[in-house]
Amino acid sequence: MRIREETYWQWADTQLHSRSHDEQLSDGTSIDVQVRLSRVGATQLFIGVYARSGKALLEEFYPARPGETMTRALVWGVDRGRALATGALAVAEVEPRRLQA
């Protein structure tokens, strides 16, 4: 079971149509990538990387992916999630993203 952190709960909105990709790597790390259209039509993206225990290693979101369809954003997010989970992209270099009030 994933232990969601504040970034996910700020981003979550069950009323918006979304697509998702869940993946578990051989070491037990899991990736959760979700994409949706906002109420004003912007493509939005959430990426979560979780340890085998379910603890969040990283959660980030993008309030807008200008010029990208949901499909393109989902593919980009999956690639980024894999890179973060495998160490190809250092987690320390990632700025957390939060919803603006």
| pLDDT tens-digit series, residues 37-88 | 999 999 999 999 999 999 999 999 999 999 999 999 999 999 999 999 998 8
- Provide the 8-state DSSP code for 93: G
Contact (Cβ atoms closer than 8 angstroms) between residue 58 and residue 91: yes
Angle at 31 between CA 29 and CA 34, to 5 degrees: 165
Global pTM value: 0.84
Residue 10 pLDDT: 80
Give CA–CA dist 23/50, Å, rounded: 10
